[in-house]
Amino acid sequence: MKVSYKWIKELTGIKVDVKDFVRDITMSGSKVENLYCPGDEITGVVTGKILLIEKHPNADKLVVCRVDVGQPDPVQICTAATNLYEGAYIPVALAGATLANGLKIKKGIFRGVESNGMLCSLGELTLTKNDFPDVDENGIMIIDECELGLDIRPILGLDDTCVEFEITPNRPDCLTVSGLARETAATYGKRLNLPEPKVRGSGDNIENYVDVSIQDKKGCVRYIAKVIKNIKIEPSPAWLRERLRMCGVRPINNFVDITNYVMLEYHPMHAFDLSCLDGDKIVVRRANGEKITALDGSEHTLDDQILMICDAQKPVAVAGIMGGEHSGVKSDTQTVVFESACFDGPMVRAASRKLGMRTESSMRFEKGLYSEICYTAIMRACELVEELGAGEVVDGIIDIKNDTRKPPEIEFDPGWINKVLGTDISVLQMEQILENLEMKIENGVIIPPGFRKDLEGRHDIAEEIARIYGYDNIPSTTLKGAASAGFTKRQIFRRTVNQTALSAGLNEVATYSFISPKSYDKILMPQDDICRKSVVIRNPLGEDTSVMRTTLLPSMLEVISKNYNNRNLQGGFYEIGTEYFPAGNEEISENNLPEEIARLAIGIYGDDADFYELKGITELILDAVGIKNAVYKSSYSPSFHPHKYAKIFIGGNSGEQIGFLGEIHPFVPENYDIGTKCLFAKLFLDKMFEFYLPERTFVPLPKYPSVTRDITFICDEREEGAKFAGAIERAVGNILESVAFLYSYRGEQIPDGKKSMSYSVTMRSESGTLTDEEADKAIKRAVKSLSAMGAERR
């Protein structure tokens, strides 16, 4: 909402510097977003009068003017303008002046003739022909006769400031200058007093001209009409044009300007050409598929959800949004019908959306206006008509009211208000504040004014008092009493996982929760996979963000792709992200919301990235949360390399899966434009949490030394080491401390299809120093056991 500060000052009588005003009004609840003072950039431009015009001696297209600028000596200025005459009053930018476009005026020599300034056009002073309809916009601006040498800004209305407010949706009353003036007055401890509009009238009777009926009482709670006859369409006077301009509205002609002025001041209005209303009738009703061409030339078909203003035959306006082209006020209009009505906000909003028409009027109506103001508004318009001499106001008024709303009665409870604010404001001060906001207080009951539909209960009253009293003046206190706070076990678990992922060198990423359904194809997910059933967004921004992911893999691949293509050729990332699963086969509903499961995704990529690197990271994380006995089972997944993929289980062979890891199938990175190896692991945090062991018990350090023996054996190339390690463990028995994999080797001295594997076996007894004989015996048992499995010692 843009407002002329001069206008606010005029209505309230305040005399505060605009900077202070901006601070104070922001702190009382009407936030100022922007300030614009067109005259700020213009300095050194004064009123002048042309005394003499001579031809330039060396240039055909230039003239040399002698200009009186109120100083003892006239100023000599060269110009190419052709609309000048001796005796003309003009704006003169003296040497040293600055113009709106930042242009600095300097003394100069024009083909040998000195020029000590510049004569200004409209554009150079930020103005347009709309602001000054009589001025030639291609020539120098000719102004009215005035004193010479004066600052041009007040004379052209360039000394005003446009204040732009952010108005919250609960305060449509502040979408008017009068509303903001009321707020201003209350902010400075005053009550706004606006004079009632006075209309002289010219006899005659409105009943001789037009008839109004409302068929949709819900859509239109009040409709007032006044008739103006013998009208004269012409430009508005300068003061009115200035006001409109400073409020961001383009001046057009006196009637359009009056309706806009009243809209800015009180309430949106409309003006019809009576001769275009068939049957001299106005009917407010729902549409039934009729067509209308709006004032802006756009054509619309109106359905029965849209409220229209019609004549006896056809629609002439879309209620609260825009008038029709046909019935608008034109240069030959003789009689005008003014409309000041109150339309249903949600209906206007729905229609405005549907038709794609958002106007100054609709954006006010859609927030919910109040009907009391309609009368003031239409009378103000008539007052302006008379003031401008734009026509004769016909006596009589048509006023149809269906508004049944009664303002609420709110208990005035100063004790509760002080308690909830933490203040000690006197009852007297509270009453003063409320009265300045035009509330009535009677017998301990507050009745808010009609324009404050947002006030319903004592908490609303508390805010009114608090904001005018000043949030700054309310004390700051700290919360009393201790509270038990701390991370839950699950939160500590998650933080441990996070911390460990970071210490493994992975960078944390944040990715979108929604993906493209095509992602499932890109990761080679089978057509019948249950994970293809995603939660679908009904109104997505686009296909790429249209379904909630059931797997974190595509998100991770996008990250890797982005990085790879930004020439980050290797790296590792993790994200604790959510996967979303429709719950069961039934429709998603309030009682059947999708499951949201947080999981850890790890992605590593690069030519050197390999399975064991990823497995090491996974093991580090499982170790950190006390999960020691995870089992990795070679498995199959279409997204992964057929031999480099494992599911992770806990709790033995029949245990639960807590995740998986593997190298991505080479076709998948190709689908993501990644030219290197990608590996991905996912850990099911909720399952892991069930096995989480946050507390560890101290294990005493061993008393006796350990003995270590290495075992190297040959086995089939595709046999899994875990099998042999397990056999060694069992064979060594209770003196076993650990079996550690050393290396695996294929090549010279090893037959084709075979591999050599080495393990280091550490043994220790708790009851005494282990002898070489005991250790050797145990190793012999292990070798025998391996041999029985077809693995011969080397």
Partner 1 sequence: MNAMIEDLKITKQTALDQIAQCPDLKELEKIRVQYLGKKGRLTAVLRQMGKLESEERKVLGQQGNLVREAIETALAESLQRLKLHETEQKLNGEWLDVTLPGKKPKAGKKHPISLVLDDIIEIFMGMGFSVADGREIETVRYNFDALNAPSDHPSRDEQDTFYINDDVLLRTQTSTVQVRVMEKNRPPLRIISPGRVYRADDVDATHSPLFHQLEGLVVDKGIAFADLKGTLEIFARRLYGENTGVRFRPHYFPFTEPSAEMDIVCFSCDGNGCRVCKQEGYIELLGAGMVHPNVLKFCGIDPDEYTGFAFGMGLDRAALKRYNINDMRLLFENDSRFLTQFS
Range 430-489, binding partner 1 (CB under 8 A): 457, 459-460, 462-463, 466-467, 471-472, 474-479, 481-488
76 touches partner 1 (CB under 8 A): no
Q: How far is the CB of 21 from partner 1 (least distance, A)?
A: 14
Restricting to residues 525-554, name those near partner 1 by CB under 8 A.
535-541, 545, 548
Restricting to residues 312-351, name those near partner 1 by CB under 8 A.
345-346, 349
513 touches partner 1 (CB under 8 A): yes
| Cβ-contact 49, 68 below 8 angstroms | yes
Pairing outcome for strands 595-605 and 307-310: unpaired
Nearest to 373, CA basis, from 394, 336, 399: 399
Smaller CB separation from partner 1, 126 or 511: 511
Restricting to residues 592-611, name those near partner 1 by CB under 8 A.
593-594, 596
Smaller CB separation from partner 1, 54 or 596: 596
Residue 380 parent element (H or E): helix 373-388
246 touches partner 1 (CB under 8 A): no
Q: How far is the CB of 474 from partner 1 (least distance, A)?
A: 6
Smaller CB separation from partner 1, 535 or 661: 535
Q: How far is the CB of 302 from partner 1 (least distance, A)?
A: 20
Q: How far is the CB of 3 from partner 1 (least distance, A)?
A: 17
415 touches partner 1 (CB under 8 A): no
Smaller CB separation from partner 1, 37 or 148: 37
675 touches partner 1 (CB under 8 A): no
Give the orientation angle of helix 238-246 with respect to helix 254-265, to 10 degrees. Answer: 50
Q: Sketch the per residue contact string, 196 through 225, with partner 1: x for CB under 8 A, - otherwise.
A: ------------------------------
Restricting to residues 270-299, name those near partner 1 by CB under 8 A.
none
The CA-based angle 697-703-706, given to 5 degrees, is 105
Restricting to residues 103-122, name those near partner 1 by CB under 8 A.
none
Q: How far is the CB of 444 from partner 1 (least distance, A)?
A: 17
Smaller CB separation from partner 1, 327 or 534: 534
| Among 261, 343, 375, 514, contact with partner 1 (rule: CB under 8 A) | 514
Restricting to residues 4-33, name those near partner 1 by CB under 8 A.
26-29, 31, 33
Q: Which residue has the tokens 């020599």?
A: 109
CA distance 730 to 712: 17
| Cβ-contact 373, 451 below 8 angstroms | yes
Query: Which residues are paired to 87 by β-bridges?
Result: none
Q: How far is the CB of 425 from partner 1 (least distance, A)?
A: 12
Number of residues that this document lists for the chain: 794
Q: Residue 519: exposed, middle, or buried by beta-carbon count in 10 A (0-12, 13-18, 19+)? A: buried
| Among 73, 586, 590, 748, contact with partner 1 (rule: CB under 8 A) | 590
83 touches partner 1 (CB under 8 A): no
Restricting to residues 150-179, name those near partner 1 by CB under 8 A.
168-171
Q: How far is the CB of 562 from partner 1 (least distance, A)?
A: 6
Smaller CB separation from partner 1, 34 or 629: 34
Q: Which residue has the tokens 């025998």?
A: 784
680 touches partner 1 (CB under 8 A): no
Query: Which residues are paired to 755 by β-bridges?
Result: 715
Nearest to 279, CA basis, from 248, 314, 329: 314
| Among 504, 630, 668, 685, contact with partner 1 (rule: CB under 8 A) | 504
Q: How far is the CB of 668 from partner 1 (least distance, A)?
A: 19
Question: Site size for partner 1, by CB under 8 A?
Answer: 88
Q: How far is the CB of 23 from partner 1 (least distance, A)?
A: 9
Smaller CB separation from partner 1, 7 or 514: 514
Smaller CB separation from partner 1, 122 or 556: 556
The CA-based angle 620-623-627, given to 5 degrees, is 135
Structure tokens at 750: 């090893």
8-state DSSP, 772:
H
| Cβ-contact 240, 357 below 8 angstroms | no
Smaller CB separation from partner 1, 509 or 739: 509
Smaller CB separation from partner 1, 82 or 168: 168
Q: Who's near 535: CB < 8 A, 6+ residues apart?
A: 547, 548, 580, 581, 582, 588, 594
8-state DSSP, 206:
G
CB environment 263-301: b (16+ within 10 A), e (fewer): bbbbbbbbbbbbebbeeeebbbbbbeeeebebbeeeebe
CA distance 85 to 82: 9
Pairing outcome for strands 281-286 and 211-214: parallel
CA distance 622 to 685: 10
Q: Which residue has the tokens 């404001």?
A: 425
Q: Which residue has the tokens 């990715």?
A: 511
699 touches partner 1 (CB under 8 A): no
Which of the ranges 69-77, 272-280, 496-504, 690-698 carries the binding residues for partner 1, by CB under 8 A?
Answer: 496-504
Q: How far is the CB of 2 from partner 1 (least distance, A)?
A: 16
CA distance 84 to 199: 43
Q: Who's near 517: CB < 8 A, 6+ residues apart?
A: 534, 543, 546, 547
Q: Sketch the per residue contact string, 372 through 411, with partner 1: x for CB under 8 A, - otherwise.
A: ----------------------------------------
Secondary structure class of 75 (helix, strand, coil): strand
Restricting to residues 345-364, name those near partner 1 by CB under 8 A.
345-346, 349, 353
Q: How far is the CB of 789 from partner 1 (least distance, A)?
A: 38
Restricting to residues 550-589, name those near partner 1 by CB under 8 A.
559, 562-563, 566, 568, 571-574, 578, 580, 587-589
700 touches partner 1 (CB under 8 A): no
Secondary structure class of 781 (helix, strand, coil): helix
501 touches partner 1 (CB under 8 A): yes
φ and ψ of 229, to 5 deg: -115, 170
Residue 666 parent element (H or E): none
Restricting to residues 724-763, name those near partner 1 by CB under 8 A.
none
Q: How far is the CB of 648 from partner 1 (least distance, A)?
A: 21
Q: How many CB atoms lie within 10 A of CB 347?
A: 21
Nearest to 66, CA basis, from 55, 53, 57: 53
Q: How far is the CB of 675 from partner 1 (least distance, A)?
A: 17
Q: How far is the CB of 509 from partner 1 (least distance, A)?
A: 4
Report the amino acid identity of residue 73: D
| Cβ-contact 366, 352 below 8 angstroms | yes
Smaller CB separation from partner 1, 83 or 511: 511
424 touches partner 1 (CB under 8 A): no
Q: How far is the CB of 333 from partner 1 (least distance, A)?
A: 36
